[in-house]
Amino acid sequence: EDKVVQSPLSLVVHEGDTVTLNCSYEVTNFRSLLWYKQEKKAPTFLFMLTSSGIEKKSGRLSSILDKKELFSILNITATQTGDSAVYLCAGTIMDSNYQLIWGAGTKLIIKP
Amino acid sequence: GAVVSQHPSWVICKSGTSVKIECRSLDFQATTMFWYRQFPKQSLMLMATSNEGSKATYEQGVEKDKFLINHASLTLSTLTVTSAHPEDSSFYICSASPGLAGGSRTQYFGPGTRLTVL
């Protein structure tokens, strides 16, 4: 059965800290891994990763995929209170079905 | 780019009435649209996948006669909750994907619709 596992489930850090969120996957015919940020409303897209070892970066956020070890990490440097959210990762599969295999999410709380 | 809107953002209705939620891709054509629901503090649950011009594919346990999905164009999908009951109260979220023709299978999410059934 396809599955995506995120860790930790929840994380509380102080503003300015750097955090690393983990996502491991077991997805048959894996195509790509997606990261989303969900605050009070619907998820917002962060990154799509398809190739191993190529870091994607957006401001203080960066992410990388390891297709050999079947995991991805999302790094946030110099965290701010606005980074508080649930971070979701999801795997996609190589066929005509666009369904996402979701992880349960990591709840990140940034304390001022 | 890749903006998805939903309407309404919040609706309260009486038990037994039907509610229609619209999902629009504003700046791209969406080959495929998805409908999710999310209960408080829980993960997103996929309800159905719809391709433009064809019938939606429902996930196991989702009643297709209760949750009617219409994907009439490449920019619009609607979800109608028929004869809504309090247990249907939830946060309904749509997403849209440009698909391979549009260069990406990434799903872009709408802001969600909070449905409260009294």
Query: What count of residues does chain B have?
Result: 118
Q: Which of A36, A42, A48 lies nearest to residue B112, judging by beta carbons?
A: A42
Strand partners, A102: A90
Interior angle at CA A16, CA A66 and CA A88, nearest 5: 40
Q: What percent of chain B has pLDDT over 70?
A: 94
Buried b (16+ CB within 10 A) or exposed e, A57-83: eeeebebbbeeeebbbbbebeebeeeb
How far is Cα A55 from Cα B90, in angstroms, rounded to an integer?
Answer: 36
Give the pLDDT confidence score for residue B100 in this predicted structure. 63
pLDDT tens digit sequence for B68-79: 999 889 899 999
Picking from A27, A21, A26, A25, the residue whose alpha carbon sits closest to that of residue A7 is A21
Mean pLDDT value of segment B34-58? 86
Chain B nearest-CA distance from A51, in A, is: 15
Please tell me the predicted confidence (pLDDT) of residue B102: 57
3-state SS assignment for residue B86: helix
Best residue of B106, B113, B115 to probe chain A, by most A CBs closer than 10 Å: B106
Cα end-to-end distance, chain B, whole Å: 37
Best residue in B107, B108, B113, B114 for a mutation probing chain A (most A CBs within 10 Å): B107
pLDDT in the model for residue B104: 64
* Residue B59 DSSP code: P
Instruction: Point out the residue among B43, B97, B112 whose CB comes nearest to the CB of A98.
Output: B97
Q: pLDDT tens-digit profile of A70-95?
A: 999 999 999 999 999 999 999 988 76
pLDDT at A45 exceeding the cut of 60: yes
